[in-house]
Chains A and B, each alone.
Chain A
Amino acid sequence: MALEHADVQRAAHLARLGLTDDEAARYVDDLGRILEMVDMLQALDTEGVAPLAHPLDVTQRLRADEVTERDQRSRFQQCAPAVENGLYLVPRVVE
């Protein structure tokens, strides 16, 4: 499956990753070669094989529905780029 410039720009937008046109052009080439290598999978017959998402056949442990976390907001916000009154600051979203 060949990769177009528009595919890379679309993926970059979905991933919220800024790319210049030059960078996108370079990634078309790189990603194209990676996908070419990946396309080898298509040669393998996997009819009826169940997908494996996790290497172990285990079930999730359940816990009681109790509050286990205490409020540590101010500590956690110490590593934020911009906060005010306990809120994260971002550019205006709603006019």
Chain B
Amino acid sequence: MHDKTLAELTRSLDAGDFSSRELTQHLLGRIDRLDGQLNSFITVTHEQALAAADAADAARAAGKAGALTGLPLALKDIFCTQDVKTTAGSRMLDSFIAPYDATVVEKLKAAGTVSLGKTNMDEFAMGSSNENSHYGPVKNPWDFTAVPGGSSGGSAAAVAAGFVPAAIGTDTGGSIRQPAAFCGITGLKPTYGRVSRYGMIAYASSLDQAGPMARSAEDCALLLNAMAGHDLRDSTCVQRGVPDYTEELGTALSGLKIGLPSEYFGDGLDPQVEAAVREAIKVFESLGASVREVSLPHTHYAIPAYYVIAPAEASSNLSRYDGVRFGHRCADPVDLIDLYKRSRAEGFGDEVKRRILIGTHTLSEGFFDAYYKKAQQVRRLIRQDFLDAFEEVDVLMGPAAPTPAFDLGANKDPVSMYLQDIYTIAINLAGIPGMSVPVGFAGKRPVGLQILGSHFNESRLLNVAHQFQLATDWHRQCPALAEENA
């Protein structure tokens, strides 16, 4: 049961092979027995999950089942969930129970999905390895000495390990695509504004976007159908119709124009990653696509621009954690300033502090123009690179990350960790959609192909990924956890 896609599970539920309750119990049992090895969940919600599964089974019996009714999933612990703890991976929110559901959570509940719990993540989504969580690192199910990627590392590991067929993540600089690549699953970061950010704990508001992580592009399409759409409670959420993202999955790829950005195949790219990506591109050629080289000339400015813009927005967003209205409060404050300073010093981890300090410094008097304004000008040039490229080609392809998953503890230096996001970060600055799909292995560790499209062109990305998955079986590979080895 645990290695099936959402689409396959729906067929089994419809056929009566098993109920949503039986499926939910099976997966909860796997989490209880096996997640000690991985640490992918922060909170598992057994009772709520079984109640939701029973409601889904009743809906199905009454002939009222939709495409996602009764299907289990997990939520990154950045989405507010009423009556269930929401931590964002931080000590600051260790006891925080949100008084409301995020829009994404509300929509997925309304679609009949069954949440099994909240997944581990880098604190406030700041990280590329899931090592910055207050709740400890997550291990990569393919190789326990490797990181799962981040910041949605728990979501990626939980899907790869067969704890859930799908999980919801968020992506500010690669936090869906890079862990999807490292864990050998399929992940989609939609266009900025496609999915509501209401109730999604903010890191960098002009970059943050929620998206699905699953076993196939088809499953991502099913989930995006439920997640996307305008929301009055998020003023940046775009008023624009939501297509049926499954509709174009079957379109043949003959005539598809693929661009390979030369900057994504340069120095620092692991040869095994490059080989797997180039093999995948040959598959697309065999499916009728044509391939040409393109240039995104400002690629190397994306990481510096991001590390001005994202920390600046974070320093502002995280000012809300003041020890007064919610979150951690220090013991026995002597005055208000002491309350603020000690509550925040105790509640935030090292990387969060680093980014708050960078953001506060670059926004402060005397530095603003040189850093923040400059970075926003560069952001426009980076977006223009993509707009120009999509005049020439339909999609762009390249590696999702320069290396396969790296070893736990390997990147102690913050700057070397930041450079891991070289291929994903520009996409958030430009606001375009991007996917990662599994295309092979480097030793034991999976390799992800990144597919990029123009704004609001998720249907095309999903179509391209789905056609690849019809022709290959990389997305059906599953790691063996200890129980199965025994």
Chain A, Cβ-Cβ closest to B341: A18
* Contacts known (A46-B374, A52-B377); A60 close to B96, Cβ less than 8 A: no
What distance in Å separates the Cβ of B304 from its nearest Cβ neighbour in chain A?
Answer: 5
How many chain B residues touch A (Cβ–Cβ < 8 Å)?
Answer: 76
Contact yes or no, B235 A37, CB < 8 A: no
* Contacts known (A37-B415, A75-B99, A78-B99); A46 close to B193, Cβ less than 8 A: no
Whether A15 is near chain B, meaning CB under 8 Å from some CB there, is yes
* Contacts known (A11-B364, A50-B380, A58-B238); A90 close to B339, Cβ less than 8 A: yes
User: Among the listed stretches B62-70, B105-113, B321-329, which one makes contact with chain A, having 4 or more residues with CB under 8 Å of it?
Assistant: B321-329
* Contacts known (A46-B377, A51-B376, A51-B380); A16 close to B325, Cβ less than 8 A: no
A35→B431 CA distance, assembly (Å): 24
Neighbouring B residues of A52 by C-beta, 8 Å: 376-377, 379-380, 383
Whether B348 is near chain A, meaning CB under 8 Å from some CB there, is yes
- State the majority secondary structure of interface residues on A: loop
A42→B373 CA distance, assembly (Å): 11
Contact yes or no, A90 B336, CB < 8 A: yes
Whether B361 is near chain A, meaning CB under 8 Å from some CB there, is yes
What distance in Å separates the Cβ of A38 from its nearest Cβ neighbour in chain B?
Answer: 5
Chain B, range 362-378, C-beta contacts under 8 Å to A: 362, 364, 367, 370-371, 373-378
New A-B pairs, 15, CB < 8 Å, besides A15-B344, A37-B303, A54-B192: A10-B364, A16-B337, A17-B341, A17-B348, A18-B345, A27-B357, A33-B414, A38-B304, A44-B378, A44-B381, A52-B376, A52-B380, A54-B206, A63-B232, A81-B329
A-B contact pairs, 7 of them (CB 8 A): A1-B367, A30-B354, A38-B362, A38-B375, A55-B383, A56-B431, A91-B338
Residues of A within 8 A of B (CB): 1, 3, 7-8, 10-12, 14-19, 27, 30-31, 33-35, 37-42, 44, 46, 49-56, 58, 60-61, 63, 72, 75-76, 78-82, 88, 90-93
